[in-house]
Amino acid sequence: MAFRAIAASPGLAGKLIVVSAIGLTSAAWLAHRHANVATDDPLADAATVTAAAPAQDAASQAAASAAPASESAPAYRVETAVVGHSFSEAAQRLGVDAATTARLARAFSGRLDFRRDLQRGSEIRFVFRNDTSGANGASEAKDANDVSAANAGAPQSTASSDDTPVAIRISNGNVSHDLFLYRNLAGKAFYYSADGHAAAPSFLRYPVKFTRVSSHFSLRRLDPVTHRVQPHEGVDLAAPVGTPVHATARGTVTFAGWQTGYGKVVKLENFGPYSTTFAHLARFAKHLKVGQTVSKGQVIGYVGATGWATGPHLHYEVHVDQVAQDPLTVDLPHRDPLQGEDKQRFAQQVALIDPLL
């Protein structure tokens, strides 16, 4: 129809007028149509924004595409191993290095002796933070380097977030022991039990590397030398003559000499209500004397069979408020627990990680 209208016009001027009219009408119709589409199409506004700010939209699309990936990647991973020969062997099977394994052994030292208390078939569960190569990953790597002081020794510059567990559970039969790694507000990272107490105790559980417990703590024991029933106020830890004996806690030497029955004996007054006794020694550590202060782990003597001993062993006692306690089960003192904001932050962390164990 438009072509016929143009052809019917009598002159050039008429043709121009008709063409202009048609052009204006078409433009108006197209504008109206575009307005309707913009109103009806829910994506129209987004398309308009895209046309107006393509750079901003590209950034938004990149962020949107990255968000699902971030949400789908878990922050933690859980690894489980069953003890075959030793804790270190099981841990190394999961990629935990020897230095970290040693730190964990020290952290658990107040609860477990890995050489004796773990059995074949005991289960170990580690929770690791996945390395995101971001701020969190860097923070955890710093935590790994700072697992020191009370339960980790000197900082290890080679540790990484990927091989340092943020939580660990050791299940030995029906009994489980959990520890959680936490960086306190002072900037130091330690392993803590779920209630916020530092894992590494102020006391070592065992003062010597022994082969077996040759006689247990008992309030009524038939003494093999006197053949009388009497209390045995400690434990006898069998070990070869000359095996070093270590102070189980910081303390002051109150006695170093000979006593009937005990033979060569060292007695320490430890902090608070605690005191310890080490008997049947072959000899004392060099320069050890009464009044000297010794540190936890310091060698104070060597295993022997002096006094009333039927074989080489260490007789070891722990007294609390001057009352003898079983050294194998007595509650050992720990460093001050977390307080205030540290305790609140730690509780939140435990609530997040504990369900993974």
Q: From the centroid of its chain, how far is CA 208?
A: 27
Q: Mean per-residue pLDDT for 183-212? A: 86
Is 90 exceeded by the pLDDT of residue 105?
A: no
- Whole-number Å distance between alpha carbons of 98 and 103: 9
Strands (E), the chain: 76-82, 123-129, 167-172, 175-183, 189-192, 212-215, 218-222, 229-232, 235-238, 244-246, 251-259, 263-270, 274-284, 293-294, 299-303, 313-320, 323-325
Would you state the structure tokens that stand for residue 31, as one six-digit string? 């504008």
289-309 per-position pLDDT tens digit? 999 999 989 999 999 999 988
Q: How far apart are CA 17 and CA 24, in angstroms?
A: 11
- The whole-chain average pLDDT of the chain stands at 75
Beta-ladder partners of 251: 270, 294
User: Would you list the domain boundaries of the chain?
Assistant: 2-72, 76-201+336-356, 212-325
Evaluated on CA atoms 67, 73, 74, 75, the torsion sign reads negative
The pLDDT score that the predictor gives to residue 317 is 96
* pLDDT greater than 70 at residue 210: yes
CB 254 within 8 A of CB 266: no
Q: Which CATH architecture has domain 212-325?
A: Distorted Sandwich (2.70)
Phi, psi dihedral angles at 38 (to 5 degrees): -65, -35
State the pairing for strand pair 167-172/212-215.
Answer: unpaired
Q: Looking at the predicted structure, is the pLDDT value of residue 356 above 70?
A: yes
Distance CA(349)–CA(345), nearest Å, equals: 6
Is residue 152 over pLDDT 70? no
Higher pLDDT, 304 or 26: 304
The pTM score is 0.52
d(CA 299, CA 208): 10
CATH architecture of the domain with range 76-201+336-356: Roll (3.10)
pLDDT at 19 over 80: no
